[in-house]
């Protein structure tokens, strides 16, 4: 999976350069480019990223102050014209430090370090034996345990999913495709009924005109999945 990346620099030319570098790197995906760190604080309240390239010397909120303010910081690469700030950056566990002006080759070396660390961490999680009772999802810089029995349905939105659970008004949002999650779910409990929906078969209460009803939410059963869903109903129909 590509690393969702933010670039932050108050100098327009420097911001354009590092943003161009991100766009030309195959394993990076630009999530946003900002000319100040304050706007990024607000952005991170509703969005997850894997890597931030941030200038140190900026007005209002410096790159160092910005990173210190993050409770669960993603991977960080500092960029600056002043070598004296390198030590401060490494104290904050930055992946690397790029001294301006830096070439694409230097940028790529730093980005590859971030990618390698990201892959090692994710492989560690994926090597854990899967459970048939729960899963862990990364959401808003936290890793949340979700019990299968609590899941009502899951909605897919491009590279995001929303997991709706009983008793919670707010769904769990995670950067993951519906297909990748489907492979982790037990077939005995869950079924994909639409390009954008997976339902917990044990939580289905009402079905009306090829729609599964959860309170005020109507989930359509598309033609592609209708036959398989009908087979499930026939096996459990009195």
Q: What gap in Å lies between CA 212 and CA 60, rounded to an integer?
A: 51
- Given a cut of 80, is residue 158 above it in pLDDT? no
Residue 72 contacts residue 142 (beta carbons within 8 Å): yes
Q: Is 33 helix (H, G, I), strand (E, B) or coil?
A: strand
- Given a cut of 80, is residue 130 above it in pLDDT? no
pLDDT tens-digit series, residues 203-238: 998 998 889 998 888 999 998 888 999 999 888 876
Q: What gap in Å lies between CA 195 and CA 182, rounded to an integer?
A: 11
Which two tokens mark 95?
Answer: 């992946």
pLDDT value, residue 177: 80
Residue 18 contacts residue 9 (beta carbons within 8 Å): yes
Among candidates 56, 9, 55, 6, which has minimal Cα distance to 28?
6
Q: Which CATH superfamily is domain 3-126 in?
A: Response regulator (3.40.50.2300)
The CATH architecture to which 134-235 belongs is Beta Barrel (2.40)
In the predicted model, what is the mean pLDDT of residues 54-65? 87
pLDDT tens-digit series, residues 31-51: 999 999 999 988 887 788 999
The burial of 129, by beta-carbon neighbours within 10 Å (0-12 exposed, 13-18 middle, 19 or more buried), is given as exposed
Maximum Cα–Cα distance across the chain: 76
Strand locations in 176-220 (E): 190-194, 197-200, 206-207, 211-214, 217-220
pLDDT value, residue 47: 82
- Given a cut of 80, is residue 94 above it in pLDDT? yes
- Given a cut of 80, is residue 19 above it in pLDDT? yes
pLDDT value, residue 170: 85
pLDDT value, residue 215: 82
DSSP string, 65-109: HHHHH-SS--EEEEEES-GGGHHHHHHTT-SEEEESS--HHHHHH
pLDDT value, residue 127: 41
Q: Any idea where the domains of the chain sit in the sequence?
A: 3-126, 134-235
- Given a cut of 60, is residue 129 above it in pLDDT? no
Kind plus residue range of the DSSP H or E element containing 5: strand 3-8
| Mean pLDDT comparison of 4-13, 78-87, 125-134, 212-221, highest-scoring range | 4-13
């Amino acid at each position: 999976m590509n690393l969702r990346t933010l670039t932050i620099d108050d100098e327009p030319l420097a911001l354009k350069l590092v943003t161009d570098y991100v766009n030309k790197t195959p394993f990076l995906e630009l999530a946003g480019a900002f000319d100040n760190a304050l706007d990024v604080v607000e952005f991170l309240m509703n969005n997850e990223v894997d890597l931030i390239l941030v200038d140190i010397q900026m007005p209002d909120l410096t790159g160092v102050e910005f990173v210190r303010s993050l409770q669960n910081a993603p991977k960080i690469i500092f960029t600056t014209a002043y070598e004296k700030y390198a030590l401060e950056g490494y104290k904050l566990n930055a992946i690397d430090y790029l001294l301006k002006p830096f070439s694409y080759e230097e940028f790529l070396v730093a980005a590859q370090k971030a990618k390698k660390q990201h892959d090692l961490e994710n492989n560690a999680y994926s090597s854990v034996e899967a459970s048939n009772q729960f899963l862990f999802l990364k959401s808003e810089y936290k890793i949340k345990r979700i019990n299968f029995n609590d899941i009502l349905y899951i909605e897919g939105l491009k590279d995001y999913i929303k997991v709706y659970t009983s008793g919670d008004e707010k769904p769990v949002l995670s950067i993951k495709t519906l297909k990748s999650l489907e492979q982790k779910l037990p077939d005995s409990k869950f079924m994909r009924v639409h390009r954008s929906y997976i339902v917990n078969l044990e939580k289905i209460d009402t079905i009306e005109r090829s729609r599964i009803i959860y309170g005020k939410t109507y989930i359509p059963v598309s033609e592609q999945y209708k036959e398989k869903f009908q087979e499930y109903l026939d096996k459990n129909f009195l």
